[in-house]
Amino acid sequence: MEEKNKKIITPFLKGERVDLCPTNVENAERYALWINNPEGRLYARNPLPSSIEEIKKKYGPPGEGMPEEISFEIYHKKDKKPIGLTGFLHINWLNRNANLFINIGEVEYWGRGLAEEVAKLVIQYGFEELNFHKIFTSIFTPNERSLRVAKKIGFVYECTLKEEIFVNGKFVDREKFALFKYDWLNK
Amino acid sequence: MAETEQVKPIPFLRGERVDLVVPRLEWVDIRVRWVNNPKIRTYLRGPFPATKDNMKQRFERVREGGLGEWVGFVVYHKTDNKPIGEVGLSRINWFTGWANAYANIGETDYWNQNYATEAVELLLKYAFEELNLNKISGSVALPNKGSWSVAEKLNFRFEGSSKEDSFRDGEYLDVKHYCYLQKDWLIRKNEKN
């Protein structure tokens, strides 16, 4: 038991304030709190509840072949605890593009610029290790916080899909942003 | 019981006195106790006993992508720190935007204190403002005044009764049908703002 309480942290990507570690089903309860969080899930588009069992399955042993999703746990180095999830969704290995997602699950860590640090780590990994050509992200119009992060990082606005998703009783727009490998490397 | 109270709730929808939280495997025993309780099951699920395995099965049926036709929550008392009932949508039809609402305060100590009303109101907001459903229905046997008073307090529309649609304690019972439409919900929401 003693052994078990001494959590071994296995960073995969090292940052300044946070490291990105492999996901761990032992933390499924924590993930469930983040993924279902009423304040956080709205613009993350998690409109249905996710049980711990579903989350364990999602982050459990991977299937065969190249993954369509890659996730990391965001680990706060000073506070020594996981604070969220990040990674790529909808990976298309042929066209070499993927969708970036960031979920700072612990609400008290919002507004500290951590999402920006996380995004940079994941993007660098995407371009320099996974050899992606294009990374995209979508922002639902009233989500100012994510919009600021995307612009700061250098994402370029591509288009607006009108009234794409239903949030708080009305349809809102999806604004698509993209970042290309050559722009990232020439920064 | 003391042990189950330490199980952490995973909030999904926040209310004043109760949150609607994600059901947990650790609460299976409590839920089995609720649905088999003679006072509760009479109007709830008919004459068959519910086993622990029945309840557990729900957790094993992990949603495979897709939307599914059922969304269930546990009603969690925020200051007493314990689950007191269940609420949810069943038989969801994503094409017609229709679902059946159910609610059940399993802890009888919490009856007649408007907990079901608060929980169903949270459920309606979710159904209309997040899932974009058009119509939520609820059917209640006539003697089950507790349930139909919830529907009336929340301004459900009364659609009518069907004769001898249910059976309990040796007699056939009429069933009252209620519904809530998304447009009614949104009009009331705008009036409040």
Q: Say what the pLDDT of residue A3 is.
A: 47
pLDDT digit string, tens, across residues A99-135 = 999 999 999 999 899 999 999 999 999 999 999 999 9
Residue A148 resides in a domain: yes
Q: Is A106 among the domain residues? A: yes
Residue pLDDT, tens place only, B170-191? 899 999 999 999 999 999 998 9
Contact B130 A51 (CB under 8 A): no
| Average pLDDT value for residue range B126-148 | 92
Residues 6+ apart with CB under 8 A from B190: none
Least trusted range by pLDDT, from A55-69, A118-132, B81-95: A55-69
Residue A2 counted as domain residue: no
Q: Given the structure tokens 């069933």, which residue do they identify?
A: B175
Closest-CA distance of chain B to residue A2, Å: 21
Is A50 inside a domain boundary? yes
Residue with tokens 């004769």: B163
**Domain assignment present for A1:** no
Show contacts of A41-46: CB within 8 Å, 24+ apart. A41/B12, A42/A167, A42/A168, A43/A139, A43/A140, A43/A142, A43/A143, A43/A146, A43/A167, A44/A101, A44/A103, A45/A140, A45/A165
* Residue A42 lies inside a defined structural domain of this protein: yes
A170: nearest CA partner in chain B: B129
CATH number of the domain within which A133 lies: 3.40.630.30
> What domain count does chain A have?
1
Query: What predicted TM-score, i.e. pTM, was given to this entire model?
Result: 0.86
What residues contact residue A136 under an 8 Å CB cut-off, 6+ apart?
Answer: A97, A98, A99, A100, A158, A176, A177, A178, A179
Domain that holds residue A108: 8-185
Beta carbons of A110 and A104 less than 8 angstroms apart: yes
Query: Has residue B30 got a pLDDT over 50?
Result: yes
Which single residue is written with the structure tokens 């229905």?
A: B137
Q: Tell me what the mean pLDDT of segment B60-72 comes to.
A: 74
Q: What is the mean pLDDT of residues B158-176?
A: 91
Is B5 a residue whose pLDDT tops 70? no
* Residue B12 to residue A33, Cβ atoms within 8 A: no
At residue B3, the pLDDT reads 47
Q: Which domains does chain B have, with CATH numbers?
A: 13-192 (3.40.630.30)
Tell me, what amino acid is at A149?
V
Asked if residue A150 belongs to a domain, the reply is: yes
Range in A19-23, B33-37, B41-45, B80-84 the model is least confident about: B41-45
Is the complex ipTM higher than 0.90? no
pLDDT tens sequence across B143-154: 888 888 999 999
B22 shares contact with chain A (CB less than 8 Å): yes
- The mean pLDDT value of chain B amounts to 89
| In the predicted structure, residue B109 carries a pLDDT above the cut 60 | yes
Determine if residue A163 is left, alpha or beta; phi over 0 gives left, psi from -120 to 50 gives alpha, anything else beta: left
A57 near B CB under 8 A: yes
Check whether A88 has a pLDDT greater than 70.
yes
A103 in any annotated domain: yes
